[in-house]
C-alpha cells in the first residue's frame, strides 16, 4: 500500500507539472502575438559573495552577500536583473515582491495592461 500511495503522489506531481508547462506555453504564445500582454518568469539566483579572489589573505575576510533576481519577459525577450546586497535587504519575500512590483510597474509604463485568465 505505501508504494501505491507514493505512485499516486508522483502521478499527481507529473500532472501538475504538465498543466503548469502548458499554461506557460499558452501565455508565452499570447505574449508574443499581443504587445499588451506580459508573461514572465523569474528566478532568485545563487548568492554572490564579494570580494572574490584567489589570494589566501582574502579567504578569511568578511564577505558581502549580493543577491540577483532576474525576470524574463517571454513575449519581448527582455531581461530585467535586480541586484542588491545584504546591507540593503535580505532575500525574503518582501524583497522579491518589491522587485516583481517594480517589474509590473515598468510593464504598465509600456502600456502592457491585458488581464487575461489563461489558466
Query: What is the pLDDT at residue 58?
Result: 64
Domain boundaries, the chain: 2-109
The pLDDT of residue 118: 54
Contact criterion met (CB below 8 Å) for 63 and 51 = yes
What pLDDT, on the 0 to 100 scale, is given for residue 43? 95
HEC string of 8-69 equals HHHHHHHHHHHHHHHHHHHHHHHHHHCCCCCCEEEEECCCEEECCCCCHHHCCCCCEEEEEE
Those residues of the chain that have pLDDT short of 50 are: 119
Rounded to two decimals, what is the model's pTM?
0.77
Can you give the pLDDT at residue 39? 92
CB-side exposure of 23: number of CA atoms within 13 Å?
12
What pLDDT, on a 0 to 100 scale, did the predictor assign at position 55?
67
Amino acid at each position: 500500500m505505501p508504494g501505491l500511495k507514493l505512485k499516486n503522489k508522483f502521478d499527481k506531481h507529473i500532472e501538475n507539472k504538465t498543466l503548469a508547462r502548458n499554461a506557460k506555453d499558452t501565455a508565452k504564445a499570447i505574449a508574443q502575438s499581443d504587445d499588451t500582454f506580459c508573461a514572465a518568469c523569474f528566478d532568485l539566483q545563487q548568492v554572490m559573495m564579494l570580494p572574490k579572489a584567489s589570494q589566501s589573505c582574502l579567504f578569511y575576510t568578511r564577505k558581502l552577500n549580493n543577491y540577483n533576481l532576474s525576470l524574463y519577459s517571454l513575449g519581448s525577450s527582455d531581461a530585467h536583473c535586480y541586484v542588491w546586497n545584504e546591507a540593503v535587504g535580505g532575500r525574503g519575500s518582501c524583497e522579491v515582491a518589491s522587485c516583481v512590483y517594480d517589474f509590473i510597474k515598468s510593464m504598465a509604463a509600456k502600456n502592457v495592461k491585458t488581464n487575461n485568465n489563461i489558466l
